[in-house]
Amino acid sequence: MASPALQRIAAKPKLGTKVRPRPRPAPDVHLVTTLHAKATKGGVTLTLTVANTGRSHVELNFPSGQTHDVAVADSAGREVWRWSTSRMFTQGIQNRLIDAGATLTFVERWEPADQPHGRYTAVGVVQSSNHRTEARTEFVLP
């Protein structure tokens, strides 16, 4: 997978292309995104949760079958694992509705084969085109 800088470069439109501004979330949208990591000797369980703390439902729009992604970096900031690597996603647009007071949760498992013990940082991203959110957490690999 390309570095974040390369991804930003690749995402830029060609010269002469009309660029539509990204829709801004309504002021009454209140999404709280958290990422929890539970590390054991067998691996790390990563739980990405989006909670709708607002008074009305929120619709998340996804431009493909990929709804989220999770990456893990070592203490030097080098990415050592990404959930979406080597996965294929459908090209179909999808929507998910989160009712007021409800949550949307994604759980992924990382089984580090040759990673040394130590401190790591995980970053989870909800890939919604209209309410893109992310959260990060640190954990120690025993």
Residue pLDDT, tens place only, 60-107: 999 999 999 999 999 999 999 999 998 999 998 999 999 999 999 999
Distance of CA 113 to the CA centre of its chain: 23
- The HSE-up count of residue 104 (CA atoms within 13 Å, CB side) is 22
**Can you give the pTM of this predicted structure?**
0.78
Weakest mean pLDDT among 9-13, 77-81, 105-109, 126-130: 9-13
Name 65's Cβ contacts closer than 8 Å, sequence gap at least 6: 89, 90, 91, 92, 94
Phi, psi of 5 (to 5 degrees): -65, -40
Provide the β-strand partners of residue 95. 61
In the predicted model, what is the mean pLDDT of residues 99-128? Answer: 93
1: pLDDT strictly greater than 70: no
Q: Which tokens hold the place of 44?
A: 């790390």
Name 6's Cβ contacts closer than 8 Å, sequence gap at least 6: none
Burial class of residue 47, CB neighbours in 10 A (0-12, 13-18, 19+): middle
13: pLDDT strictly greater than 90: no
Confidence (pLDDT) at 44: 96
Rg of the chain on CA atoms, in Å: 17
Confidence (pLDDT) at 43: 93
